[in-house]
Amino acid sequence: MAVALILVLVALGSVIFHLVSPWWWTPIASNWQYIDNTIIITFWITGAVFVAVVLFMAYCVYRFRHQAGQQAHYEPENKRLEWWLTIVTGVGVAAMLTPGLFVWREFITVPDDATDIEIFGQQWQWSFRLPGPDGKLATSDARLISPDNPLGINKDDPKSKDDVVIEGGELHLPIGKPVKALLRSADVLHDFYVPELRAKMDMVPGQVSYIWFTPTRTGTFDVLCAELCGVGHPQMRGKLVIQEQKDYQAWLERQTSQGFARLAPSPVE
Amino acid sequence: MVDVPLGPGGVVAPTDIDDVELYHPHSWVTKYVFAQDAKVIAIQYALVALSVGLIALVLSWLMRLQLGFPGVFAFIDANAYYQFITMHGMMMVVYVLTALFLGGFGNYLIPLMVGARDMVFPYVNMLSFWVYLLAVLVLVASFFAPGGPTGAGWTLYPPQAILSGTPGGQEWGIILMLASLMIFIIGFTMGGLNYVVTVLQARARGMTLMRMPLTVWGIFTASFMALLAFPALFVGAVMMLFDRIFGTSFFMPAIVEMGQPLDRSGGSPLLFQHLFWFFGHPEVYIVALPAFGIVSDLISTHARRNIFGYRMMVWALLAIGALSFVVWAHHMYVSGMNPYFGFFFATTTLIIAIPTAIKVYNWILTLWRGNIHLNVPMLFALAFIVTFVNGGLTGLFLGNVVVDVPLSDTMFVVAHFHMVMGVAPILVIFGAIYHWYPKVTGRMLNDTLGKIHFWVTFLGAYLIFFPMHYLGLMGIPRRYHDIADMSFVPQSAHTLNAFITIVALFVGAIQMIFVFNLFWSLRHGRPSGGNPWRATTLEWQTPETPPPHGNWGKEVPVVYRWAYDYSVPGADQDFLPQNQPGTARTAAGPAHG
Amino acid sequence: MASILLFLSLLALIGAWWLSRQGLASKPWLEQGATAALPPADDTPTPASKVALWILLAVIGSFFALFISAYSMRMQLPDWRAVPVPTILWLNTGMLALSSVALHGARNAARRGEMTDLRWGLVAAGVAALAFLSGQLVAWQQLTGEGYRLAANPASDFFYVLTGLHGLHLLGGLVWLGGTIQKAWRTSDTGSLRLPVDLCATYWHFLLFVWLIVLSILTGWAGEFIDICRQILT
């Protein structure tokens, strides 16, 4: 009796917790509303299954608890019932998988008008590189990294002239413009993670990975590292500032002038 | 140790040997230390694994203290924290769960349940345990090595695992960890061959595969998978050891570490991840399948009803075992691998949910119209279903590639895998110990203590891990020594963390009741008799309890029926032991039977 | 990961074939009595050690298949520079083949009951295997001499690791073979030696097979072969 009651409490308690607890995802700031929708679908389906299974168990525990003179029903199997359950499960699984795969295709297909930017991780700070007026990033290689070239940019590449490098600071992005973030790492695995963007991806030394997104909300967001990268992992923080186009432009110009000022004394190779 | 004809290949299956011919342990040392009796080896495995489990439990306390009350305990700095999580994870997954299910339960139950006198290669079996113990000692030694144990996370991802930014990366920690894993795998291979071949070759007369209890099926399938999956970890470990010690570049690309270029180039960190998860995902099922098997038998016995849909249960086990080798990259959706792999691995991963769901349905359908005795083992089995279903369903979030993107590397993942492969299998382990303890010792464990232990463990573990999902959903990343200064984390989340810590400390402490019960009941428990649960399977039919070496006295049992003849209509008792001859059944049940 | 998946699919096929003969679709609750479900009494059941050896070979097989998977993944990265195969490897291959043939002879001798042939077959196999191992060491020395040290390039890393691990497996086999030789000199009953010699021979053939695969990969033939297959398919 008590066991059945506690099982019911576990099922209902979980649902109530889900509905009333203050802990829920952060308001989204990118175009990945689809991901949130897929999660909601999954919550509905899995939640229904969980409650159904636990309540059914509770019922069985109560109704078929041992009593004097009682004997269990003998029934080795019931093929029809088992096949039905299998098919229903298959349908439920397909209902979660299909939207998931569609959204995934979207997730990995970068729109043509996306601007390339670079996000660069190293123990334990973030750096960023914006393409400047030409809209293109220069090539790079970890072997070119040096104190005056912290991102290992290929200076022989003409596209490198106007690239804007932001070390350890904030990344600003304009609202409403799709961005393709190219992800690189100098040393170990990192993961560019802004909870409000939903999208995240590991940065792997020796290769370039990517994500794309369109910021949809202005504001300042925490950039975290989501892949264990050594003892400084939790301290590896940055800021993502999403601004209106004109504020962004003003910021970018400031960065460009600062960048040139810093680059000017160094000898040109 | 004397009379077994050993030497190259000269091993004779113990079923063919008379009791007298089987080795005679002459001394205390050969009986209890360098023992070749599978039952003694099982207990050795179980005691070592449970001790490692206690160490890992203390480590989890320490990390929870830091998470719940950050900064209060100054000795848990980032370095120590990462060492604790790494050792906790690796110990629990490999050295506790794998060793306990296969080395512990496998050794005890396989020979007894299939009607054999012992494992087919007792000497190799003994070696397996000692090699395992060596692996544990090497692992524990890393606590005392210069620089301490590795803090690379249990996944040991390169390059950080062997660089100086990680505790133990450029010191002894990682070397000892990899060495210990390799030793473990060698030891396991010895044991695993035994478990598999014993099931294949040493079954009693009449014990067809389809008459085997699901416990044996689960352990058998899991052993097979482990034999094929562990080499992947071995290969990864060998290559990483070379990278660490000889400076090769298997996994090491060109790296600039803290401004200093390293003399490496061209390697692929993703290669290690593929190898690791090629082992790592089957490993999840290596832990789960024995739990599935055991829980099926617990439910069936205590509900006095045959396991519902036995054939489907066997097929589902085999299907899960096979499928688990083609889902590994679902751990790598955000690893930077070729994104098109996502389609394939999401599909295989969600397909594996179907046979798993079938198993859940059949467990609860076994309860339906049963005659449920809410004994302590049964309570644990019910709790297993709740936690396993919960954890399995959150697995559908993480397996579905795009849903995984925001959730991966957050506390949601931590909550998910603790629920599904931490709490759930451990509940089965407890249930199984309460169930088989009478066979091992001849005495029952104390029931009241058992119930206290059960309720605190089940509800406590649920309270720890269920809310944790929501911290992850909010975006709190895992493997953070400190979650201070995150603008999106409200104060209430810190309160919840403190709450989880307090519950975790309490639940951990209550495990001492269980340990006490284990020792107290050894002398003071109620004598159980040979078959206290009135179960059908062979281990309960031994002439003596606890079964002596050789298990069966003069004659090995002959098997006349499957393992689940409970409440057969027309029979004069509600269970028919597998070795009971005759056809007591009058009506063969409903038409679709 | 193609080679390990291929290898495991092969194992899965064997497993499925074996399981299909075990009556997995039968309804065990309808069968009562021991004899109904018993296979016909087999005069010579397969010895457990033979089954164990085959499973061990599956484990070792997956071990090498995984290494080959890793090899082929690492090989595609740009810094790969192929290692010239030392000529002595051909001699070594011959030695290993000879060792395998000698063991096969010993196995046949055990079946025929000829103790002398059996003994000398075992010894010859042991000597040839030792010659193979020393030859491998010479190959290592030559490569190191030519500057292909460990850690010089991933191709040479793999060369040392693969040959080394193969050698270790052979060394393990040699310990076993040593025990068998000792036994062969102590007894005059060939019957008791049949099984151990049989197991040795199987293990040796398997290691020869693995060596040929490894060799074909180190020489690059396997890669060429796969390319040709691809061209035919497309």
pLDDT at B403 (0 to 100)? 92
Q: Does A76 reach chain C within 8 Å, measured CB to CB?
A: yes
Beta bridge mates, A184:
A120
> Which CATH number among 3.40.50.880, 1.20.210.10, 3.30.365.10, 3.20.20.70 corresponds to the domain B39-256+268-541?
1.20.210.10
Helix (H, G, I), strand (E, B) or coil at A24: coil
Q: What is the residue extent of each domain of chain C?
A: 88-234
Closest CA to B479 of B63, B95, B55, B96: B63
Q: Looking at chain B, which subunits does it touch, using at least 3 CB pairs closer than 8 Å as the criterion?
A: A, C
Q: Which residues of B touch A234 (CB under 8 A)?
A: 78, 480-483
Q: Does A100 reach chain B within 8 Å, measured CB to CB?
A: yes
Rounded Cα distance, A238 and A91, in Å: 43
pLDDT at C33 (0 to 100)? 64
For A136-191, the DSSP string reads -PPPB-GGG-BTTBTT-B-TTSGGGGG-EEEESSEEEEETT--EEEEEEESSS-EE
Q: Is the peptide bond before B159 cis (omega within 30 degrees of 0)?
A: yes
pLDDT at B584 (0 to 100)? 52
φ and ψ at residue C70, rounded to 5 degrees: -60, -45
Distance from CA of B99 to the nearest CA of A (A): 27
Mutate to test the interface with B, among C10, C13, C32, C71 (most CBs of B within 10 A): C32
Distance from CA of C150 to the nearest CA of A (A): 21
- Which tokens is C207 given? 């290691």
Q: Does A267 reach chain C within 8 Å, measured CB to CB?
A: no
Distances (CA, A) of A163 to A136, A208, A263, B256: 8, 18, 11, 21
At residue A155, what is the residue type?
K
Tokens 């505790």 locate to B167
Distance from CA of C89 to the nearest CA of B (A): 23
Q: Which residues of C touch B267 (CB under 8 A)?
A: 74, 77, 154
Rounded Cα distance, B355 and B324, in Å: 11
Q: Is the peptide bond before A124 cis (omega within 30 degrees of 0)?
A: yes
Closest CA to B85 of A23, A233, A121: A233
- Which tokens is B452 given? 């206290």
Region A223-245: mean pLDDT is: 94
pLDDT at B195 (0 to 100)? 96
- In CATH, the architecture of C88-234 is Up-down Bundle (1.20)
pLDDT at B572 (0 to 100)? 83
Rounded Cα distance, C46 and A58, in Å: 49
Rounded Cα distance, B470 and B482, in Å: 18
Q: Which of residues 280-319 of B touch A (CB under 8 A)?
A: 303-306, 308-312
Neighbour order of strands in the sheet with A238-243: A170-174, A238-243, A219-225, A190-193, A200-203
Q: Does B86 reach chain A within 8 Å, measured CB to CB?
A: no
**Contact present, A237 and A195 (Cβ < 8 Å):** no
Of C24 and C222, more confident: C24
Helix (H, G, I), strand (E, B) or coil at A265: coil
Region C43-71: mean pLDDT is: 90
Rounded Cα distance, B108 and B44, in Å: 11
Which residue in A has a C-alpha nearest to residue B488's C-alpha? A26
pLDDT at B2 (0 to 100)? 33
- The answer to whether the Cβ–Cβ distance between C48 and B228 falls below 8 Å is no
- Asked if the model's pLDDT at residue A269 lies above 60, the reply is no
**Contact present, B56 and B91 (Cβ < 8 Å):** yes
For B329-355, the DSSP string reads GGG-TTTTS-TTHHHHHHHHHHHHHHH
Angle at the Cα of A208 from the Cα atoms of A202 and A211, rounded to 5 degrees: 55
pLDDT at A256 (0 to 100)? 77
Q: Looking at chain C, which subunits does it touch, using at least 3 CB pairs closer than 8 Å as the criterion?
A: A, B
CA atoms within 13 A on the CB side of C112: 12
Tell me the angle at which helices B447-474 and B411-418 cross, rounded to the nearest 10 degrees: 160
Rounded Cα distance, B428 and B162, in Å: 36
Closest CA to C36 of B201, B557, B583: B583
Entry pTM: 0.93
At residue A89, what is the residue type?
T
Q: Which residues of A touch B474 (CB under 8 A)?
A: 23-26, 195
Q: How far is CA A180 from the centre of its chain?
A: 14
pLDDT at A259 (0 to 100)? 60
**Contact present, B174 and B161 (Cβ < 8 Å):** yes
| Cβ-count burial A54-81 (b if 16+ within 10 Å, e if not) | bbbbbbbbeebbbeeeebbebbbbbeeb
Q: Does A27 reach chain C within 8 Å, measured CB to CB?
A: no
- The answer to whether the Cβ–Cβ distance between A72 and B393 falls below 8 Å is no
**Contact present, B431 and B454 (Cβ < 8 Å):** no
Q: Which of residues 198-237 of A touch B (CB under 8 A)?
A: 198-207, 209, 220-222, 224-234, 237
**Contact present, C208 and C96 (Cβ < 8 Å):** yes
Beta-carbon contacts below 8 Å between B and C: 178
**A35 CB contacts (<8 Å, ≥6 apart)?**
A103, A107, A198, A199, B402, B403, B405, B406
Q: Which residues of C touch A77 (CB under 8 A)?
A: 27
State which of A92-96, B291-295, C115-119 shows the largest mean pLDDT.
B291-295
Closest CA to B585 of C26, C25, C28: C28
Distance from CA of C194 to the nearest CA of B (A): 9
Q: Which residues of C touch A76 (CB under 8 A)?
A: 27, 29
pLDDT at B12 (0 to 100)? 43
Q: What is the residue extent of each domain of chain B?
A: 39-256+268-541
For B234-247, the DSSP string reads HHHHHHHHHHHHT-
Which residue in B has a C-alpha nearest to residue A234's C-alpha? B480
pLDDT at C190 (0 to 100)? 82
Distance from CA of A222 to the nearest CA of B (A): 7
Which helix (H) or strand (E) segment holds residue C61: the answer is helix C48-75
Rounded Cα distance, B366 and B376, in Å: 18
Largest CA distance in chain B: 82
Region C195-201: mean pLDDT is: 93
Region A76-89: mean pLDDT is: 93
Helix (H, G, I), strand (E, B) or coil at A109: coil
Of A75 and B582, more confident: A75
Helix (H, G, I), strand (E, B) or coil at B527: strand
Determine the number of helices (DSSP H) and then strands (DSSP E) in chain C: 7, 0
In chain B, % helix, strand, coil (3-state, to 5) comes to 65, 0, 35
- Which tokens is C37 given? 């479900």
Under the banding of pLDDT at 50, 70 and 90, the label for residue A1 is confident
Closest CA to B304 of B378, B390, B199: B378
Q: Which of residues 62-81 of B touch A (CB under 8 A)?
A: 78-79
Taking phi over 0 as left and psi of -120 to 50 as alpha, with beta for the rest, B550 belongs to left
Residue pLDDT, tens place only, A125-134: 999 999 877 8
Residue pLDDT, tens place only, C122-181: 999 999 999 999 999 999 999 998 888 887 788 888 999 999 999 999 999 999 999 999
**Contact present, B91 and B139 (Cβ < 8 Å):** yes
Distance from CA of C200 to the nearest CA of B (A): 9
Which residue in C has a C-alpha nearest to residue A75's C-alpha? C29
Q: What is the DSSP letter of A37?
A: H
Q: Which residues of B touch C73 (CB under 8 A)?
A: 268, 271, 274
Q: Which residues of A touch C29 (CB under 8 A)?
A: 76
pLDDT < 50 positions in chain B? 1-21, 586-593
- Asked if the model's pLDDT at residue C233 lies above 80, the reply is no
Region C80-94: mean pLDDT is: 90
Beta bridge mates, B372:
A65
CA atoms C88, C94, C98, C101: torsion sign: positive
Distance from CA of A158 to the nearest CA of B (A): 24
Q: Are strands A238-243 and A170-174 parallel, antiparallel or unpaired?
A: parallel
Which helix (H) or strand (E) segment holds residue B435: the answer is helix B424-441
pLDDT at C40 (0 to 100)? 52
Which residue in B has a C-alpha nearest to residue A197's C-alpha? B406
Helices (H), C81-146: 88-112, 115-145
Q: How far is CA A201 from the centre of its chain?
A: 7
- The answer to whether the Cβ–Cβ distance between A231 and B151 falls below 8 Å is yes
| ipTM for this model | 0.93
Which residue in C has a C-alpha nearest to residue A207's C-alpha? C77
Helix (H, G, I), strand (E, B) or coil at B332: coil
Q: Nearest Cβ partner of A89 from B261, B339, B354?
A: B354
- Asked if the model's pLDDT at residue A28 lies above 90, the reply is yes
Q: Which of residues 482-521 of B touch A (CB under 8 A)?
A: 482-483, 485-488, 490, 492-493, 496
- In CATH, the architecture of A115-263 is Sandwich (2.60)
Distance from CA of A62 to the nearest CA of B (A): 9
- The answer to whether the Cβ–Cβ distance between B211 and C37 falls below 8 Å is yes
Q: What is the DSSP letter of A213?
A: E
Angle at the Cα of B164 from the Cα atoms of B159 and B170, rounded to 5 degrees: 90
**Contact present, B458 and B426 (Cβ < 8 Å):** no
- Which tokens is B181 given? 């894993």
Tell me the angle at which helices B491-524 and B38-68 cross, rounded to the nearest 10 degrees: 150
